[in-house]
Amino acid sequence: MFTEISAELELEGKLREFVRKIQELRKESGLSVSDIVGVVYESNDQNKAIVDKYADEIKKKVSANSLIAGDTFSIKR
């Protein structure tokens, strides 16, 4: 049985965590599914790699029109 996690698979797991954080912020803010938001994400190498590779997928999953690096995760309506 092969149990080693590839870099690609690890990045996909980090993508799910990234999206979950944004969805949690949307819920805490009382936003509906149809509300389009701008996302500010914590600027670090890992998040930059996620956004560089999956920006379109992230925007679609969280109804965002922008992904901007910043100090911490936040959303703007």
22-70 pLDDT tens trace: 999 999 999 998 999 999 999 999 999 999 999 999 999 999 999 999 9
Per-residue model confidence as pLDDT tens digits over 6-18: 988 999 999 999 9
Looking at residue 71, what DSSP letter applies?
S
- Rounded distance, CA 37 to CA 75, Å? 6
- Enter the tokens of residue 45: 């190498």
Q: What is the pTM of this model?
A: 0.90
- Rounded distance, CA 15 to CA 56, Å? 12
